[in-house]
Chains A and B, each alone.
Chain A
């Protein structure tokens, strides 16, 4: 590793540095991916621009809509009191990442930009219809997270843009989320499959008004199981409907076989975990005080 180090103290200064160095520069957040990729010589930026002194990037704002600054750590997500209710999947996704040391360093923004198909918090954000905001020399733009993610390690972020935040609308009443992960062991493990679900029930608590299902490690990028979602809308969420959703998600995903699991096993996991995550959402909605 060999590079010039920059520590801008404003977003404007960070954007200027990005514009000046373009693809020769990388923005540094928690470093849990970037520093390792540099040490493995996968990338060799000549300039590293730390974002740690840019004010406000580590802020969580939750008043109706939720805005997570790019430097919000996994640890901060776990601890944020407002995420222990209907948004609990954010906590569940964050708390299975690495060990405490990695969660103290690794950030939401870095997790998104790293674009690992096996990221744990990204499916949760996808299930919440999150958008991503980037600021570059031409100003600010906001795009859906689903469009921002392209393929392993690649996003729509331009080299001279800083990802500043991810944002999503607050959930309507009678909503819940859940996140489940299958790994070969419980800690410090890359997901074999992970699933995030979001469900909103109607006033009777029977029919599904809205469903979102996002899956990690089953496609080149974090993937929304839209066929399965459609099969749930306006349906009563009985076991047969959940089984159909699991079947559709398993049929639609494109898992690879690798050292962690075979593609066939991943499909079986998808079928089961989708049903379980949806059932957990339903339980959670019904457990809420009216």
Chain B
């Protein structure tokens, strides 16, 4: 199969990639570009560990062809912390002990970010629904929900 040239925008930076057309965004992020914060697990859009934001919307990178992402903005967990330090969601996950084995956490945080960007003051039930596509097999959902709610509060206080 012939290779194709892709120009991908990841975390605000352009990356030129020459690859086979069947490769997924997940594949290219992890193997070609070294963004291993995006995790790989079920490969069937069930577990959410590969969640990235594509033009701001949470997507499963395991079922997205890299070729489909040309001209769109990809945000991975590596792009979340700004110079000022960790993103409030990242800090809240640490402060609330929401991280156990950690494997689901990049996806959890990005799914939560996409949701909070549009719903700045959610209820706990809304947070849980927002994270329905992200599985934590350590089953630490309670602290994860608490961390997201705390981050929402912190983000709100920064806006005022």
Contact = CB atoms under 8 A, between A and B. Distances in A.
Contacts of A4: 1-2, 21
Interface of A: 1-5, 7, 28, 31-32, 35-36, 39, 48, 50, 52, 75, 98-102, 104-105, 186-188
Given A36-B45, A48-B22, 12 more contacts: A1-B22, A39-B44, A50-B68, A98-B133, A99-B48, A99-B133, A100-B115, A100-B130, A104-B54, A105-B59, A105-B64, A188-B46
Interface residues of B, number: 32
Interface string B19-36: 011101000000000000
B65 interface: yes
B124 interface: no
A101 B60 contact: yes
Given A100-B114, A101-B59, A3 B22 contact: yes
Nearest to B1: A2
A100 B2 contact: no
Interface of B: 1-2, 4, 20-22, 24, 43-46, 48, 51, 54, 57-60, 63-65, 67-68, 111, 114-115, 129-134
Contacts of A28: 65, 68
Among B2, B60, B63, B133, max chain A CB count under 10 A is at: B63
Nearest to A188: B132
Contacts of B24: 35
B57 A104 contact: yes
